[in-house]
A and B are shown apart, each in its own frame.
Chain A
Amino acid sequence: MKKKKIYKLKNGPQIVLYKDTSKHCTIASLFVMFGGKNKKIKIGNKNYKIPDGMAHFLEHLLIEHSIYGNILLEFENKSTKSNGYTTKDTTEYVINSVIDFEEDLVKLIHIVNLPSFNKKDVEETKKAIKKEKMMSKDENFEALEKLDYQTLFSTIEYPNILGEINDIDHIDYSNIKFSYDTFYQKENQILIVAGNFNIGKIEKIIKNTYDSIKKEKKLYQLPRLEEPQKIVYQEKNITRNVHMDYVRINYKIDIKNISDKDRLKLDFYLFYFLSYLFDSSSKTYNRLVKNKTCVYGINYSYQKTEDFFIIKIGTTTNNHNEFIQNVKRVIEKKETNQEDFELRKRQTIIAIILREDSFSATITPFIQNIISYNYYDMDKIEDIENFTFDDYKNWIEFLDFNNYSITKMLREKEDEINE
């Protein structure tokens, strides 16, 4: 049996309960709407800057220095899996329990809402984060991502989730406390519980736990970013220790006037459109492989960044121009195909049916719908069945692909490597 309940606690978080009696474990994800992208806020008439890496720093601090000590150890002692993740949009605290879920859930809400860290804990946390930063510095695509932001946006900054070493050094108890009090308010949270549990009992536990937490309400405003449709730089390059150059075209699509519901639909349509143009069955991919422009596949993806869809199409190639011209040509043509559309629609329906087999496959897109599109429901087969080719074609026609940047990760020359 499957049952869903979605509601908002008075002066508290949004709650999503998803009961599935076939499951043997229960998961809870507590999201705080504070991520790497949050760099500025306004309180009253005053503007404040949030240091890079702050959301991620708080995640570490709350997990490693909670009222229960290091919560990872606390949970692992009773074999509950737990972790924390910071993205550009949110910080997530997650548990996966097999026994005593109710007890774990209370602890989860407590660690996020009853901080107990001190100045010494802050200094200790810096050491772990610097080591994490060290690991990320060898990630070539992170550097390219930063470049994409620089070329595309004039007001939206790269969400440097870990921060640089200097940022980490400059984080102190007072600016952490300030960020915590601002972003960790109860109303700024979403709690998702999924698995085999008693809905009534869990509802009561959540209410009682949140009611027992007293937090002062702090009003703040996120900056209104007047990001223009135009890009900033046509092209930027970086040099890295890679075997072959990587070239990417980044399209900036304004979706300001599109509703959340349509944005979600567009999410599917973009996937169909890009797959038709660039997957391994596409004419473009096969042409570029045949003429040896591409050795590997073409990577295509899209993500919502504020009021824009950013579409990225890249490949490993030494023939930059050939790749760029081909991508530009097919994108500008906006070619769609009804047979292909119907095929991909059917694939989506099958994928939704198959989600039943895996807990994470069920929950992950559900969470994505909530976080990205403010849509508090799962994808439904009937919604997909209602997609029509004409609607799809019209939406693709409507999108403006005139604003794009090119970013390249160039191979270091041998003498630079051997220096």
Chain B
Amino acid sequence: MINKNIVKFKSTPYLVKCKDSSTIDFLFIYPVKYNKKYLFYLSLMKQILLTTSFDYQTEEKYKKRYQKLMIIDESMYTKRLNNNLYIEFTLTVPNPNKISNYNLEEAFSFFVKTIYNPNVANSKFNEEVFEREKCYLKEKNLYNMKNVYAKSYQSFLNIVDDNGILKDNIYNNMDLIDTATPEGLYEVYHHLIQENNPIIIVYGNVDKKINNLITKYVHRNNKRIMVKKDYYHFLKPYEKVRVVEEKSKYNQSILYVAYKIKKIKREDQLYIVLIKNILGVGANSLIFKTLRVENGLVYSAKTWCNIYAGLLVVEAYIDKKSKKKVISKVENIINRLKDKKFLKTQIERILKDMKLDLIREQDNKRKHLVDFLSEKFDYGYNLETLIDFYSNMDFELLIDFIKRLKLDTIYFLEGEFDEKEKNI
């Protein structure tokens, strides 16, 4: 019997071939179980690993070497899905077949050393570099929180999420940064990276020979990698709609209208994505058409969802006097979707768009990589899956889902701008 809660990965690299690509991507992905203490350490790790190493102990030396090796990009990215965390390092370099005298091996070895030979001595990261990056991170977070969009988003998360899964982020845990130490960072790094076995993916016009390069520089055990999937943490709807309003000195007013799902089940995630797509993509979307084209209530509005939390959100940038009208229009749209005939037209509309997007996607050379990751790690959906699902839609189940959509949270950050008042 297949256990759908376990994702298995082979110990040898996955080669994802794209013969037209002018670049080669090496991805090292470390699966980890989430722990709150990693919040700041992961951000610090990213800052330090990608700017210094044991061989190049200052940013000046590190970046000079990086440039000399003609590296196109080197990044570290963390994807958190409830209790699962994937730490992904990527190296993008030119394909040596396209560039004369390109030394792929030197670039790859630099990348491996970036990950495995950091600026560490006596089981702690270099103190000077650590303190600098800690200071940078603190300042950056404070800086970001002055931005109206970041500020309103954080406030919204704190209101919509009583359990703290969504709001469990660095902005709400600023005190943790002061407890971070170079020794603590090393301990976390050693556990998450050095003691861990990465899933390796190579993307581009490559063949099996690339394995020799990987084997030469990366020493891993031959065990298959098993990840226990714990991606979901559905937010429970509040008994009564939670309404929070705040005044601010910004010009902009921002409104969040959030829906949660009663009696949510995992199968609902495809429906959440469907409703999000009907409501919120492009000029022909229901939200844009209703709020801007037909009623002139917004300049811009978008719909987004979090399938792992069971959350569907309309976010609108509005004039402060339009709040009530916008909420009522959003509610009307959701209610209209309960009408099968109307719903059918909407699905046909987005299906048509998606089929053409599928053709457009062929011009995007990274599509194969994105699709490979979402399939292998079992997160997100590619266009083909969505088209197949929407084409064979069971309308009874869909309408049952829409009936379970419950208006849950309204957050309004009121700005000062009023379009009728001049000279503001």
Contact = CB atoms under 8 A, between A and B. Distances in A.
Given A295-B139, A417-B249, A131 B59 contact: no
A419 B21 CA distance: 56
Nearest to A347: B70
B304 to A, nearest CB: 18
Given A76-B283, A98-B356, A134 B251 contact: yes
A392 B64 CA distance: 21
Nearest to A412: B249
Given A99-B356, A244-B139, A134 B363 contact: no
B53 interface: no
A325 to B, nearest CB: 20
B299 A353 contact: no
Contacts of B296: 124, 127-128
B317 to A, nearest CB: 6
Interface in B241-296: 249-252, 282-284, 289, 292-293, 296
A24 interface: yes
Interface in A148-189: 165-166, 169
A195 to B, nearest CB: 9
Contacts of B22: 353-354, 356-357
A354 B72 contact: yes
Contacts of B318: 131
Interface string A196-230: 00000000000000000000000000000000000
A134 B283 contact: no
A49 interface: no
Interface in A312-367: 316, 343, 346-347, 350, 353-354, 356-359
Interface in B95-110: 98-99
A8 to B, nearest CB: 29
Contact of A24 (B20, B72, B249, B362): B362
A159 to B, nearest CB: 21
B293 A282 contact: no
A346 B359 CA distance: 34
A124 B294 CA distance: 11
Interface in B33-69: 51, 58-60, 62-64, 66-68
A132 B417 CA distance: 11
Contacts of A289: 59, 132
B299 A243 contact: no
Given A124-B296, A286-B60, A357 B21 contact: yes
A244 B318 CA distance: 28
A281 B360 contact: no
A77 interface: yes
Interface stretch (B140-148, B187-195, B226-234): B140-148
A292 B72 CA distance: 29
Interface in B358-399: 359-360, 362-365
Contact of B252 (A82, A127, A130, A135): A135
A70 interface: yes
Contact of A296 (B59, B139, B415): B139
Contact of B284 (A73, A98, A166, A417): A73
A281 B68 CA distance: 11
Interface string B317-332: 1110000000000000
Contact of A127 (B21, B356, B362, B419): B419
Given A128-B292, A353-B99, A134 B94 contact: no
Contact of B299 (A96, A134, A138, A283): A134
A399 interface: no
A358 B365 contact: yes
Contacts of B352: 79
B298 interface: yes
Contacts of A22: 20
Contacts of B345: none
A24 B94 contact: no
A73 B251 contact: no
A79 B289 contact: no
Given A73-B289, A296-B136, A354-B94, A134 B419 contact: yes
Nearest to B424: A165
Nearest to B300: A135
A385 to B, nearest CB: 12
A352 to B, nearest CB: 11
Contact of A295 (B136, B357, B423): B136
Contacts of B145: 243
Interface in A108-136: 124, 127-128, 130-132, 134-135
Contacts of B72: 350, 354
Given A137-B251, A358-B365, A350 B283 contact: no
A137 B250 CA distance: 8
A166 B424 CA distance: 10
A25 interface: yes
A284 to B, nearest CB: 10
B219 interface: no
A358 B66 CA distance: 23
Interface string A1-41: 00000000000000000000011110000000000000000
A280 interface: yes
Interface in B298-349: 298-300, 317-319
B360 A286 contact: no
A258 interface: no
Contacts of B148: 138
Nearest to A354: B22
B293 to A, nearest CB: 6
Nearest to B146: A243
Contacts of A285: 59-60
A333 B132 CA distance: 29
Contacts of A77: 284
With a 10 A CB-CB cut-off, give which of A124, A242, A281 has the most chain B CB atoms: A281
A131 B319 contact: yes
Interface in A20-77: 22-25, 70, 72-73, 75-77
Given A131-B319, A243-B143, 17 more contacts: A25-B360, A72-B283, A72-B284, A79-B357, A82-B283, A127-B296, A131-B299, A131-B318, A134-B299, A134-B317, A241-B250, A242-B146, A281-B62, A295-B139, A296-B140, A347-B67, A357-B21
5 contacts: A75-B283, A76-B284, A134-B317, A280-B51, A347-B67
Closest 6 CB pairs of A and B: A76-B284, A281-B63, A131-B299, A72-B283, A137-B251, A130-B419
